[in-house]
Structure 1
Amino acid sequence: EGTKIDIVVPSDYLVERFIAEDLLAELDFSNIPNFKYVEKAAQNRTFDPENKYSVPYFIGTVGIVYNTKLVDDPVDSWGILWNEKYSKKIMMYDSIRDSIMVTLAYLGYDINSVNPDELAEAGELLLKQKPLVRGYGADNIKDDMVGGSVALAIDYSGSAVQAIMENEDLSYVVPKEGSNVWMDNFVVLKSSANKEAAERFINFMCDPEVAARNSEFVGYTTPNEAALEYVDEEFTSNSAYTIPDDVLERCKYFKDLGDNMQLYNDVWMKIKTSA
């Protein structure tokens, strides 16, 4: 309230929250004709079933980036992150939702679980893993992977794209147990004083050639189907850039957990403060 911001780019579960909090304006798609280029699979998602409020911007996954020269086991399961063979060569993401999500998926539970017993089990498994972990990182994960000091790491697909381009020994996989697929979206605040201009800017960003250049610059996958024609093969051939249908089928979007987020905070606090 009182902000001069027109456009925000939240992730999927935040769009859901913003809609519930009545913060977003319904979009006038006559000002966004380039929406037609957004692939059908990216439209009408659970967080905005009719795309009344949001336009997909980037899509990606959370997976494992690994060094093929340092890892000689199959990388097809989250379980490899608990393999003592790679002790102190494993990086976890310093993110409550992501690290707990990985563990819930590995255990066969819903990645949005709010079951206290399931979360406690995930927490115990993360505590068991902690002695094997080199660190809990974020932006430094890419540099550590490129430099070869780490063999395995949880990472976002876009960051992995850049890492693979800098070190050809790296590869990326979404494990068989499934993972989080996320989508960043353009939305316009209900308080915007420039709604039409905001919508026309979103339309510009959805132009296929613009979307392609932007995708290459950032490294994340565009959900703009027509843009892929303009994206350089250096990206489209990258294992982290493309998201095959079978990968999407085993991934889920995060849900807004509301007050249940405290359950996750409690689990994470125990992990981060343990010796």
Structure 2
Amino acid sequence: MKRFLQLIIISIVVGIICLLISQKFVSKDHSANGEKIYVYNWGEYIDPSLIKKFQKETGIEVVYETFDSNEAMEAKIRNGGTNYDVAFPSEYTVQKLKREQLLLPLNHEKIPNMKNLDQDYMNMSYDRDNKYSIPYFFGTVGILYNKKAYPNDKFDSWQQLFSKKYENDVLLVDGAREIIGLALNKLGYSLNDVNKQHLDKAEKDLNQLSPNVKGVVGDEITMMLEQHEANIAVVWSGVAAPLVQENDDFDYVVPKEGSNLWFDNMVIPKTAQNKDGAYKFINFLLDEQNSKQNTEWVGYATPNKAAREKLPDEVKNDKRFYPSQKEQERLEVYKDLGKETLGEYNERFLNFKMSLK
């Protein structure tokens, strides 16, 4: 009996010691205080080590989810389910979310690192005074091409893509606004055109491009160009930048007729449960060193002026990816065209894709 009691006492003591040890280690874990923020971002759009750094510095656990389209992100925010604290919509989606009162107005005093942002990329038409959104990354839509394959061609016009010499050698990003947009720009119309006659002309014009189109593709564009499966592509600048900067065979051009200037942004949805944590996360990403690290990892152009100054000269001074205010005059930011018109863009783009051989 005595031996039995001793075993019980020993077991209790060991249990207490193990509990104390586990509590000691848990107290050092980033999620020990139970505080979390839910972040909803595009895939591969943040350096994972920065999330770990934020957790370590703040003690706030980051529950991180990704989406592959603005529409998917918008639907999930509207329908609830997960109460995201920070989301990363593009400019026209910011307009939609604002209109439907799904965003919180931002308290700029809680984001002191906003001082690092370049005023050239603030106060845009989709969100005056950045009342609801903070720019995260930005870029353009243009033509990426192999200079060795076409040494005498400049590709400074959308018209160039329609030449018969490029038969079955052009790749297109899988985006209705981008591809209908290039046809609209080629014809001298706005990227935000809602005139049905203009859209008819753009769709008809795209059909003339069909013989040159190798495919409408996604993330594999860079690989296909590197492997010479095609030599020309209509892409976002962030896709072009790493290839152009690492391989002298390639160049990127924004055609003279104009193109898109796009912005992805940080917002706080109205249903956010941890607003203070959201502000801390946004401010953390705007820190100049953190932003520099993130920019180098993601590869897109940063609106963070302080961070950009820390980048290599050949990157920060590259006008192909950091257009000046004057160069921005021929660029347009996408507007929210409304559900009906957006549906029409998508339908016309689908018709075009179905027409490809």
Contact 1:15 1:48 in 2 (8 A): yes
- Contact 1:24 1:53 (8 Å CA) reproduced: yes
Cα distance, 1:237 vs structure 2: 5.0
| Gap regions ≥5 residues in structure 2 | 1-79
Say if 2:309 and 2:316, in contact at 8 Å, map to a contact too: no
Name whichever of 229-238 and 76-85 sits farther off.
229-238
Whether the aligned pair in 1 keeps the contact of 2:120 and 2:325 (CA below 8 Å) is no
Count of paired positions: 275
1:272 aligned onto 2:353:
yes
Contact 1:93/1:136, CA 8 A, preserved across alignment: yes
Distance apart, 1:98 and its partner CA: 0.5
Q: Deviations over 1:144-202 (max 9, x none)?
A: 22223322110111110112234220010101000000011100011111101101110
1:219 aligns with 2:316: no
Match of 1:192 in 2: 272
- Taking the TM superposition and a 5 Å limit, the aligned residue runs for 1:154-193 are 154-193=234-273
8 Å Cα contact 1:64/1:173 also seen in 2: yes
Deviation by residue 1:80-130 (Cα, 9 ceiling, x = unmatched):
110111111111222111000011001100111111111111111111111
Q: Does 1:19 align with 2:98?
A: yes
Give the Cα–Cα distance (whole angstroms) in 1 for the partners of residues 319 and 128 of structure 2.
30
Question: For each residue in 1:44-96, what CA deviation from the matched residue of structure 2 results, as whole angstroms up to 9, or x when unmatched?
Answer: 11111121111111010000011111122222101111011111111122211
Aligned pair 1:68/2:147, yes or no?
Answer: yes
Secondary structure of the structure 2 residue equivalent to 1:158: helix
Establish whether residue 95 from structure 1 lines up as the match of residue 175 from structure 2: yes
- Helix, strand or coil: the match of 1:245? coil
TM-score by length of 2: 0.74
Would you say the 8 A contact 2:144–2:252 is kept in 1? yes
Q: Deviations along 1:27-46, whole A, 9 cap, x unmatched?
A: 11121001111111211111
Runs of 4 or more above 4 Å deviation: 237-240
Once the two structures are superposed, what CA deviation does each residue of 1:201-257 show, in whole Å capped at 9, x if it has no partner? 101100111111111111101101111121123533556433233331110000111
Q: Cα gap change, 1:179/1:237 in structure 2, threshold over 3 Å: closer, same or farther?
A: same
State the alpha-carbon separation in 2 of the partners of residues 156 and 229 from structure 1: 23
Structural RMSD (CA): 1.4
Which one is further off, 158-167 or 77-86? 158-167
Shift of 1:262: 2.2
2:62 is matched with none
- 2:85 is matched with 6
SS at match of 1:142: helix
SS in structure 1 opposite 2:326?
Answer: helix
CA contact (8 A) 1:13 1:47 kept: yes
Structure 1 residues 250-270: Cα deviation after superposition (integer angstroms, max 9, x where no partner): 100001111211221231122
Q: What's the offset of the Cα at 1:138? A: 1.8
CA distance in structure 1 between the partners assigned to 2:347 and 2:108 by the alignment: 42
TM-score, normalised to structure 1, is 0.95
Q: Which position in structure 1 is the counterpart of 2:115?
A: 36
Distance in 2, Cα, partners of 1:138 & 1:164: 18
Structure 2 CA distance for aligned equivalents of residues 257 and 142 of structure 1? 30
CA distance in 2, matches of 1:63, 1:222: 18
Q: Is the 8 A contact 1:158 1:240 kept in 2?
A: no
* Runs of 5+ consecutive residues of structure 1 not aligned to the other structure: none
Of 210, 216, 220, the match for 1:140: 220
* Larger radius of gyration between Structure 1 and Structure 2: 2
Q: Residue in 1 aligned with 2:184?
A: 104
Contact 1:92 1:99 in 2 (8 A): yes
Contact kept? 2:140, 2:321, Cα under 8 Å: no
Q: Is the 8 A contact 1:145 1:163 kept in 2?
A: no
Letter in 2 for 1:131: P
